[in-house]
A and B are shown apart, each in its own frame.
Chain A
Amino acid sequence: MWTLLTALNLCWEAELAEETLLTDDFLRQLINVGEVDILVGLRTYNNAKTIEPVIRAIQTGILKCFPRERAVIINADGGSQDRTPELIVGASIDDVWSASKVYALRTLHSISTPYASSPEPGTALRTILAAADLLRAKVCVVVSPDSTTIEPDWLQQLVRPIYSDNFDLVSPIYRRQKFEGVLMRNLLYPMTRAIYGYRVREPYASEFAISGRLATDFLTKEIWNDERSRVGAEICLTIAAITGNYRVCQSFLGPKAQPDRGASDLVAAMRRTVGALFSSMDSNFPIWSAITGSQPVTTLGTESEVMEEPVRVNRKRLREMFFTGVAQLEPVFRSILSAPTLSELQRIATLEISEFNYPADLWAKTVLEFAASYHKSVINRDHIVQALVPLYRGRALTFLLENRDGSGEDIENNLESLCGDFERLKPYLVEVWADRK
């Protein structure tokens, strides 16, 4: 009886929470904005240091590239204490005229809403999509508040394909430093490509644009009721676009800004990306299990070269953490990995840096076995994701060593080879998934 009452109460609270996604004050502000053509969403939490140039670039981009379009900037804030929302709302378009001599034909609203008292990226995105749905925005652009490298033209490159060419999702391609985006290049991209058959380079992007149609459809998905999926809403969005009846393209932007982050964020990043990716595979099994190979995605804009700026990396620490992980987590790995894979990892862990090599095919097999174990919930799912972190570090070390002296083209070739391994091992994944091995 008590259990029943508790369950009923939880349902009631969930429904209330659904209803109050848009607070009264936010709703009032949205009413005042009215229907728009372009909605730019900013998810913030204590971004006062970087937000002003970002807002300026967005305003300039809108006024310069889309002067006649009805636009709004919507900030979903997770409880900032450094006046980030005030900075956004207070940024006047008159300043754009002073700085860039770009004239504003129309009113450009900037509105802000606190969606939670602490940051929840998935809920922030949901708030923005709800606003886009309500305002019937033709295009919804999401920009990272840390994007200090953003240029006004990015708006054009993200919005134009949707506005003029009827695409539904525009994913970015950045001009990256050689060793940037290790997780993206070694796991997220190859895995998404192999599983879902589309070569989307940045399945988890900080800047992207979606059509109003996709925004509305995505709001109705079940991922919002599952905490793991909600945390990785961006990657779920990409997956929804490439598995649904939507047109997807990629657009070259510029250099990607790297926010000041610590090591602890790697676990959080893995949860948001890898956890969400694994989670998505459960419900999409009928789709991805039938896909073989992968196809390219329409890419727009001018390709830019890889940047050769040096980056400091503590290789010894990476190797040490890999070794510690393999040694200390052996009981955990026994539940997740197959015996041959684990044995191979243990062998690699004994190698010195000069000989260290975590081969691409082994890495692919590791990830796929993790995915299968995640599906079967051999242990707590969040623990499975965390257990992957030290192994990722080992792979990151190999990536560094492999590409240390390589050019951009060499890195691309290695990446292509890695993707090939993932695709080739996909049948293995299907067997392990269904417990046939």
Chain B
Amino acid sequence: MREIIINELTQALQDLARGFAHYLPRLVVMLVIAFVGWMVAYLLKVVTRSILRLTKFSKLSENAGATQLLNQAALPSSTELLSRFVFWVAWVGFILLGVSVLGIVALQEYISQFFLFLPRLFVALVILFFGLLAGSFFSRAALLAAVNVNFRSSRLLSISIRIIISIFTLSMVFEVLGVAKETMLITFGTAFGAIMLSLAIAFGIGGKDVAREFLEKRLVARKKEEKEDELSPL
């Protein structure tokens, strides 16, 4: 009995040692990859930061209104944020690469999904950025145009345009990321359709007199105002 137990224990210890000997080199390789990855990621972060500074990305970001948003959220500047993002994406990527060396089958699929997700993430970020930029630009353009024709609710108009563009942008982002895709589409479609329908009903039936009065005031008043203002600029 004692001999059997000793033999089993010896066998188990040997198996353990064998297993350890099998995985230890891979662990070392994983750690090396992780370390190298850290260095590469850091380098990429520095390069990204320099490029963004050179191309005055912060100004673009300010124009897009992203800077204001980040400030409000007590986040670092867009240049810094993006650089850090690049760092983390790169390092996580290397870590996962190292993990794949360990040969754990169950993890391989998740690792490959992560790498497949990266391009979509990049596209989504680009869409988000340009969406914010467009929203800022068009809302400001609408604000200025409305102010210059003495439209009373110019701020409201401007904000509305920014919201609509933002919603549209977010919808596109979520669609690209594939996050709750159908939910987003349905929600957006429903909300947008509902807004349009309610506006149509409100103006078409419920408020047609108001709408008429509103339009008349706007158009006729403007003509009268324009006629009365004979100051020639040039």
Contact = CB atoms under 8 A, between A and B. Distances in A.
Contact of A383 (B140, B149, B150): B140
Contact of B150 (A179, A320, A396): A320
A89 interface: no
B99 interface: no
Contacts of B149: 263-264
A184 B234 CA distance: 5
Interface string A363-399: 0000000000000010110010011011010001000
A343 to B, nearest CB: 19
A183 B150 CA distance: 19
Interface stretch (A4-12, A98-106, A107-115, A325-333): A325-333
B143 A181 contact: no
Interface stretch (A32-40, A52-60, A158-166, A310-318): A310-318
B230 A311 contact: yes
Contacts of A21: none
Given A273-B234, A311-B230, A379-B63, A386 B225 contact: no
A387 B232 contact: no
B148 A389 contact: yes
B144 A387 contact: yes
| B interface, size bucket | 20 to 34
B232 A386 contact: no
Given A182-B232, A183-B233, A324-B154, A386 B137 contact: no
Interface in A287-323: 311-314, 317-318, 320-321
Contact of B226 (A263, A267, A320): A263
Contacts of A324: 147, 150, 152, 154
B234 A269 contact: yes
A339 B150 CA distance: 25
Nearest to A270: B233
Contacts, number: 90
Interface string B146-172: 111110101100000000000000000
Contact of A317 (B143, B155, B228, B234): B228
| A interface, size bucket | 35 or more
Chain B CB count within 10 A is highest, among A263, A320, A377, A387, for A263
B144 A318 contact: no
A377 B63 CA distance: 10
B141 interface: yes
Interface in B183-204: none
Contact of A312 (B154, B155, B230): B230
A262 interface: yes
A312 B150 contact: no
B9 interface: no
Given A314-B225, A324-B154, A332-B140, A258 B148 contact: no
Chain B CB count within 10 A is highest, among A264, A329, A377, for A329
A329 B144 contact: yes
B150 A313 contact: no
Interface in A381-426: 383, 386-387, 389-390, 392, 396, 400
A266 B233 contact: yes
Contacts of A266: 148, 233
Given A262-B226, A314-B228, A387-B144, A184 B233 contact: yes
B231 interface: yes
A181 B140 contact: no
Contact of B229 (A181, A318, A379): A318
Nearest to A314: B228
Contact of B231 (A206, A270, A313): A313
A267 B146 CA distance: 12
A377 B56 CA distance: 12
Interface string B100-137: 00000000000000000000000000000000000001
A386 B158 CA distance: 15
A324 B152 CA distance: 8
A359 B141 CA distance: 28
A258 B232 CA distance: 7
A267 B232 CA distance: 12
B51 interface: no
Interface string A240-278: 000000000000000000100111101101100100000
A204 interface: yes
Contacts of B232: 180-182, 258, 261
B31 interface: no
Nearest to B148: A389
Chain A CB count within 10 A is highest, among B137, B143, B154, B233, for B233
A325 B147 contact: yes
B230 A181 contact: no
Contacts of A390: 147-148
A341 B196 CA distance: 42
B88 to A, nearest CB: 28
B211 interface: no
Given A263-B229, A328-B154, A383-B140, A181 B147 contact: no
Contacts of B147: 321, 324-325, 328-329, 389-390
A379 B60 CA distance: 9
A300 B126 CA distance: 61
B217 to A, nearest CB: 14
A396 B231 CA distance: 9
Interface string A193-206: 00000000000101
B145 interface: yes
Chain A CB count within 10 A is highest, among B145, B228, B234, for B234
A273 B145 CA distance: 18
Given A312-B228, A317-B225, 11 more contacts: A206-B234, A263-B225, A267-B148, A311-B230, A313-B228, A314-B228, A321-B147, A329-B143, A329-B147, A386-B145, A390-B147
Interface of B: 59, 63, 137, 140-141, 143-150, 152, 154-155, 222, 225-226, 228-234
17 contacts: A181-B234, A182-B231, A183-B234, A184-B233, A262-B226, A263-B226, A311-B231, A313-B229, A313-B230, A314-B228, A317-B225, A328-B155, A383-B141, A386-B145, A386-B148, A390-B147, A392-B233
